[in-house]
Structure 1
Amino acid sequence: MKRTKKVTIQDVARYANVSVGTIDRVIHNRGKVSHEKREKIEAAIKKLNFNPNMLARTLALGNQFTVCALVPAAPYAGHYWTMPLQGLELAAAQYKDYGIITEYFFYDLFDEQSFVRQTNQIEALEPNGVVLAPLFLQESKLFTEKLKSKGIPYVFIDADIPGSQSLSYIGPDVKQSAFIAGRLLHSLIPEKSEILIINMVKGFENASALRRMEKGFRGFFRESGLEQNKTIHSLTIHSTQKDEVFRELTKFYIKNPAVKGVFVTNSKAFLIAEFHRLHDLNIRLVGYDLVPENIEHLKNGTIDFVISQSPAQQGKRALQTLFNYFVWKKEPEKIQYVPLDIIIRENLGFYINFNRYLQNGIKNNQ
């Protein structure tokens, strides 16, 4: 027997071409709705055979939940951190009519004190929940201890803090993603080769995921019995400014001219690709995330593989997790890994179209 698909309030909103909030006002006979829209909504409810569920009924109680999202500021359009924000905004638009109020706070990727200032503001607000990208390890630990003492649940995205008492972690399996990067790079370079891991971060010791990432990358070669054939270097550059990155790369390659492959641990692989192109270096390159600059270098072949960590999905699922926790009293899984997609020139078009679809979805829901 074929099961009938459950009709949701979002289905009715789409059918009637109105917002979820307008549907709710009609269902509960509150607020002003034009006669034309009311008739349109009532017709849609009848046509789709929609029965308002308990969630829709509880909206009349006026419950509201404030969620503070603390993520790095994107310094320019198309930067990696625009993508988790897109996911957060998409979910915020979806749940705002259910009483979820989302407040956004941003910190500088290279300034721990900006992170601390924002956490102080969030503490003063005493929200119902927090979505946090804990890229500064020590500062994140201090902040989450305060949230715990106040009984405020928090969800991590992009990076995890092992042993923490977060409600959930939503993001990549960092060690496994780096293991995959090792396998990909190995497929591109000679059997006996030198490899370079590049971190671009203010302080390697305070970057919560980079140690596990490097461990995962080296783990591929160790577990595959390839360690003796590969010399793996590591270079941490305390900037993402092009001139500084190029200066550090120049110094490194002068001393280590035999490098055949590079793994970049963040979304800045395009900087390394540009350096290689300018200096006519035949070095294979693997990095993360489908930012516009990486797309261009995938197209021209100066980046070989990009591993996408579903950043928009991370933001969307984080807010969805808190919504389910507040409204449905649903305990989430402690770890929610997102898919890891391997992107090459040949499947690039699909992912570009997918991201465009996501952005349009956000605009239509706002």
Structure 2
Amino acid sequence: MTITEIAKKSGVSIGTVDRVLHNRGKVSEKTKLAVEAVIEKYGYTPNPLARTLKKNKPFVIGVLMPPPGTGSGYWQMIFKGMKEAESELSAFGIKLEFEYFDRTEYGSMTKASQRLFEKNLQALITVPIVPQEAEEIFSHIEIPYIFVDSPLPRANPVITIAQNPYRGGQCAGHIMKLLKGSGKFSVLRFYKDSYNLLERLRGFTDYFKNDTNCQVIETISPNGTNQVIFNFLDNLFKSEPEINGIFATHTEGFIIGQYLSYTNRKNKVALISYDMQEQNRNGLMTGNIDCVISQRPEYQGYTSVNEIFKSKVLLQEIPQRIFVPIDVIFKENAGEYNPIKL
């Protein structure tokens, strides 16, 4: 029952009901008893959305992530989804405050979190891609927080919105098996300790663990200019000339595809990459990449803001985990692929 309905049944004004509910202002004992009798008989559940609008105060959500301009467009897509949700919910006081960190510089995430926590936050969205720092930050955080992009086992977020990285790695293994049948495959990544990348490696490796005709090797490339990566790949193929498949566990597969094309290795070496950003889409269309696995970054960003809104403003129950679908993209469906909100 609403305040308006209680007022009608009690024969008093809405303001009088409000004063009784919040125990403020002058209300006669007789009127108070009449209002309380109606509430006891019919019940009353406050409308959290109306209460938020009445307060006319912003609900500030902090966002701790890499700069949108990094990650070859991947973080820009997550940022875009968050900003779209912020725009749609602006009438309800939702406001995002961003701080950015460099995942290649240890300590950067901690410093960015300290800057962010100086602001009046009600909740936090972050990507736990520097596990050691993230675990320390979230061991003593007092506001609700949620993860996007990657889970992190030793943390307790309100919700995690991410793909299952182990299953993503298994899918990549299945695709590689279809493409090449057998051979020596390299699982390549830039970032040594990132939990989701390690899980993709584990899933891919486990897919072939009982296949004696296939060998999986782990390779970690320096994250630098194209030339730095090209030099690393030169050395990799000198030491492992029999490689006939590469699984790039993150966004930069298009760089590997360019290398394979420039060195005339693409006809021999299959390439699977993560993330459907524009350069990887182009790589698919030109044949430099055989397959891309997408994890819908725009959807992740958009949903993260909406789930906090539902949980902390509307006081609705939300799931502990939203599993992002594993989208498999080939040249034949790359042109039309456009991940939509679920």
TM-score over 0.5 for the pair = yes
TM alignment of 1:192-341, pairs within 5 A:
193-201=183-191, 204=192, 206-222=193-209, 225-226=210-211, 228-281=212-265, 282-341=268-327
Secondary structure of the corresponding residue to residue 95 of structure 2: strand
Cα 1:190–1:338 change in 2 (3 A) is closer
Residue aligning to 2:178: 187
User: Structure 2 counterpart of 1:139, which letter?
Assistant: E
Structure 1 match to 2:92 = 98
Whether the 8 Å contact between 1:213 and 1:265 is mirrored in structure 2 is yes
Letter in 1 for 2:204: F
Q: C-alpha offsets along residues 100-137 of structure 1, whole Å, 9 cap, x if unaligned?
A: 11111111231222212111112222411000011100
In structure 1, the residue matched to 2:39 is none
Secondary structure in 2 matching 1:80 = helix
Q: Is the partner of 1:238 in helix, strand or coil?
A: coil
Indicate conservation of the 8 Å contact 1:73/1:109, yes or no: no
* Distance across 2 between alignment mates of 1:283 and 1:252: 13
Unaligned regions of 5+ residues in structure 2, if any?
A: 1-46
Does 2:69 match 1:85? no
Look up the equivalent residue of 2:185 and give its one-letter code: I
Query: Is structure 2 residue 167 aligned with structure 1 residue 173?
Result: no
What amino acid does structure 2 have at the position aligned with 1:195?
A: F
In 1, distance between residues paired with 2:241 and 2:164? 32
CA deviations 1:265-315 (Å, max 9, x no partner) are 100001110110000002100011111211111001110110000111111
- Looking at structure 2, the residues matched to 64 and 114 of structure 1 have their Cα atoms a distance apart, in angstroms, of 28
Q: Secondary structure at the match of 1:342?
A: strand
Q: Cα offset for 1:189?
A: 0.6
User: Relative to structure 1, is the Cα distance of residues 164 and 76 closer, same or farther in structure 2, using a 3 angstrom cutoff?
Assistant: closer
Q: Structure 2 CA distance, aligned partners of 1:220 and 1:302? A: 24
- Any conservation in 1 of the 2:275–2:295 contact (CA below 8 Å)? yes
Aligned residues between the structures: 293
Deviations 1:202-244 (A, max 9, x none): xx1x32222212111111122xx32x11111111012142111
**Residue correspondence of structure 1 range 113-192 to structure 2 within 5 A:** 113-147=107-141, 150=142, 152-191=143-182
User: How far did 1:349 drift?
Assistant: 1.6
- 1:32-43 to 2 correspondences below 5 Å: none
The 5-angstrom pairing of residues 23-62 of structure 1 reads 55=49, 58-62=52-56
Contact kept, 8 Å, 2:135 with 2:154, in 1: the verdict is no
Distance in 2 (CA, whole Å) between partners of 1:341 and 1:96 is 31
Rounded to whole Å, the distance in 2 between the matches of 1:176 and 1:58 is: 40
Q: Could you say what secondary structure the match of 2:180 adopts?
A: coil
CA contact (8 A) 2:128 2:150 kept: yes
For residues 114 and 77 of structure 1, what CA distance do their matches in structure 2 show? Answer: 16
TM-score w.r.t. the length of structure 2 is 0.81
Residue type at the aligned position of 1:313: Y
**In 2: Cα distance, 1:126 partner to 1:145 partner:** 20
Deviation at 1:78, TM superposition (A): 5.8
Kindly tell me: are residues 297 and 116 of structure 1, through their superposed partners in 2, closer, same or farther at Cα, counting changes over 3 Å? same
> In the aligned structure 2, how far is the partner of 1:162 from the partner of 1:254?
38
The unaligned stretches of length 5 or more in structure 1 are 1-52, 359-366
Q: For residues 99 and 275 of structure 1, do their structure 2 counterparts lie closer, same or farther at Cα, with a shift above 3 Å needed?
A: same
Q: Residue in 2 aligned with 1:75?
A: 69
SS state at 2:312 partner: helix
Residue in structure 2 matching 1:343, options 305, 329, 332: 329
Root-mean-square deviation (Å): 1.9
Percent of residue pairs identical: 24
State the distance in 2 between where 1:179 and 1:322 align: 31
Contact 1:67 / 1:129 at 8 angstroms: preserved in 2? yes
Structure 1 segments of 4 or more deviating over 6 A?
Answer: none
The residue type paired with residue 267 of structure 1 is: T
TM-score by length of 1: 0.76
Counterpart amino acid of 1:173? N
Aligned-partner Cα distance in 2 for 1:78–1:211: 20
**What is the CA distance between 1:64 and its match in structure 2?**
2.8
The separation in 1 between residues aligned to 2:232 and 2:282, in whole angstroms, is 23
Which whole-Å CA distance do the structure 2 matches of 1:108 and 1:334 have between them? Answer: 28
Alpha-carbon shift at residue 146 of structure 1 (Å): 2.5
- Equivalence for 1:33: none
Kept in 2: contact 1:289–1:306 (CA 8 A) = yes
- Structure 2 residue aligned with 1:43: none
